[in-house]
Amino acid sequence: MGKLIHFVHQSLDGYIEGPNGEFDWPSMGPELSAYSHELTGGDKVFLYGRVVFELMASYWPNAEEHSQHPHDLAFAPVWRAADKVVVSHTLEKADWNTRVVNDNVVAELAAIKAAGRDLVLFGGSELASYLTEQGAVDEYRIFVHPVLLGGGRPVLRKSGLRRRLELVETRTFDGTVTMLRHRLAES
């Protein structure tokens, strides 16, 4: 059975983007980059909401033209080759090995997990919040960066939902970024 992993970078004050939508603050050092490639390698399915997918699709297909950063050069071919799922009520089709899911989202993702494939949800507070509320997220890997953004989009929207999580692992990358890895606690 596969699992759904929420993989997200956040500021110390809990935001995934700044007040003006900026995402120029995460630091991808060599250790974090290597871990990211390990997490996204293999037969993983990349999962996005429409907004994050459009951002990714505007960069990764031609990342080598925009950046010579070692992380970008290594991840671009992985992104292009990976199977992807976009959850959207407005998007009808997408390129780059991408399937669009408009309805029955939880059932569609459960079928992928039942087939033994892991899904990696990249950022996206709306989709992450919805899937959390539905109990579909199996694991959270939150990468806390040493920056205060002072506002913006939170990791998860307020929902009134309360769930107990179990801390599975903590780890520091490149002496600056801390990963908090949690899974749902057994009842």
How many residues are given for the chain? 187
Helix axes 70-81, 30-40, angle to 10 degrees: 10
Q: What is the structure's pLDDT at 44?
A: 96
88, pLDDT greater than 90: yes
> How do residues 102-120 score in pLDDT, each as one tens digit?
999 999 999 999 999 999 9
Overall average pLDDT of the 11-34 stretch = 94
Tell me how far apart the alpha carbons of residues 82 and 57 are, in angstroms, rounded to a whole number: 12
- Is the pLDDT reported for residue 15 higher than 70? yes
Q: Which domains does the chain have, with CATH numbers?
A: 4-18+27-173 (3.40.430.10)
Check pLDDT > 90 for residue 186. Answer: no
Residue 93 pLDDT greater than 80, yes or no: yes
- Summarize pLDDT for 166-181 with one digit per residue, the tens: 999 999 999 999 999 9
Q: What is the 3-state secondary structure (H, E, C) of the chain?
A: CCCEEEEEEEECCCEEECCCCCCCCCCCCHHHHHHHHHHHCCCCEEEEEHHHHHHHHHHHHHHHHHCCCHHHHHHHHHHHHCEEEEECCCCCCCCCCEEEECCCHHHHHHHHHHCCCCEEEECCHHHHHHHHHCCCCCEEEEEEECCCCCCCEECCCCCCCCCCEEEEEEEEECCCEEEEEEEECCC
Q: Own/partner pairs for 15-18, CB < 8 Å, 24+ apart?
A: 15/149, 15/151, 15/152, 15/153, 15/154, 15/155, 16/123, 16/125, 16/152, 16/153, 16/154, 16/155, 17/149, 17/152, 17/153, 18/149, 18/150, 18/151, 18/152
Taking residues 156-175, report their average pLDDT: 91
Please tell me the predicted confidence (pLDDT) of residue 187.
62
Q: How many CB atoms lie within 10 A of CB 137?
A: 24
